[in-house]
Copies of this chain bind each other. A is one copy, B any other.
């Protein structure tokens, strides 16, 4: 049956926004949603709504939900890994380096805190290939930096069990993650105030008396 020939205004048709620009807008919106809700809980239709365009346009430009996530990932990854590597190239070691990293992180994440979440999203479909692999690309870079910093610190202290390094690296990443998360819950904090707070806390924790059996062992 042919469609009724009634004059029905459609919203279709170009709005004069070039593809590159639209893609940028979409990626920005999508990053925020993915970062806030997680991959699984994010619906493409929702992203389309918030971006003020329609779902098929997203599929036109990004191919699939994973493709969209991938685009967000690469933008965020370039920013993040780049900054962290910049810090790592500095000559700080041990806790000094840790603090510098946190400072860089806070400054970097100030305008768009969600991008951090993309790399530590537990809801992305696991698998040897696909998104998971791309995430690994970046987390490996980040972990390598952390591992190097942690390893250096442990070596200075005369410890060199590789498993110790691995465990402490995991802990360190979690510490960074938790501070970012806490910051997200306390929007009044500035990067500077967060950094100061970290300096203060480092001081307190490290100044605390060691338990007897730690020194004894």
A→B interface (CB under 8 Å): 38, 40-41, 92, 94-96, 99, 122-123, 153-154, 156-157, 159, 161, 163-164, 166-168, 170-171, 173-175, 177-179, 181-182, 186, 196-197, 199-215, 217
Chain B residues whose C-beta falls within 8 Å of the C-beta of A208 in the assembled complex:
94-95, 153, 156-157, 206
Contact A200/B217 with A208-B157, A211-B95 known, Cβ cut-off 8 Å:
yes
**Across the interface, do B166 and A182 meet the contact criterion of CB distance under 8 Å?**
yes
**Across the interface, do B204 and A217 meet the contact criterion of CB distance under 8 Å?**
no
- The one of B38, B156, B204 that contacts A123, using a Cβ cutoff of 8 Å: B38
Q: Which residue of B lies closest to A188 (CB)?
A: B163
Pick 12 A–B contacts, CB within 8 A, sort by A. Answer: A40-B40, A40-B123, A92-B211, A154-B204, A164-B197, A164-B200, A166-B182, A167-B182, A170-B178, A174-B178, A199-B214, A206-B214
Chain B residues whose C-beta falls within 8 Å of the C-beta of A123 in the assembled complex:
38, 40-41, 122-123
Q: Which of A154, A178, A179 has the most CB of B within 10 A?
A: A178
Q: Which residue of B lies closest to A196 (CB)?
A: B217
Q: Which residue of B lies closest to A169 (CB)?
A: B182
| Cα A210 to Cα B207 with chains together (Å) | 9
Q: Which residue of B lies closest to A125 (CB)?
A: B41
Q: Which residue of B lies closest to A121 (CB)?
A: B122
**Across the interface, do B204 and A182 meet the contact criterion of CB distance under 8 Å?**
no
**Across the interface, do B153 and A201 meet the contact criterion of CB distance under 8 Å?**
no
**Across the interface, do A159 and B204 meet the contact criterion of CB distance under 8 Å?**
yes
Q: Which residue of B lies closest to A158 (CB)?
A: B204
Q: Which residue of B lies closest to A120 (CB)?
A: B122
**Across the interface, do A197 and B157 meet the contact criterion of CB distance under 8 Å?**
no
Those 10 A-B pairs whose CB atoms lie nearest each other, nearest first: A174-B178, A96-B211, A157-B204, A170-B182, A174-B174, A203-B214, A40-B40, A171-B178, A170-B178, A94-B208
| Cα A203 to Cα B206 with chains together (Å) | 10
Chain B residues whose C-beta falls within 8 Å of the C-beta of A215 in the assembled complex:
203
* Closest CB in chain B relative to A90 CB, distance in Å: 13
Chain B residues whose C-beta falls within 8 Å of the C-beta of A170 in the assembled complex:
178-179, 181-182
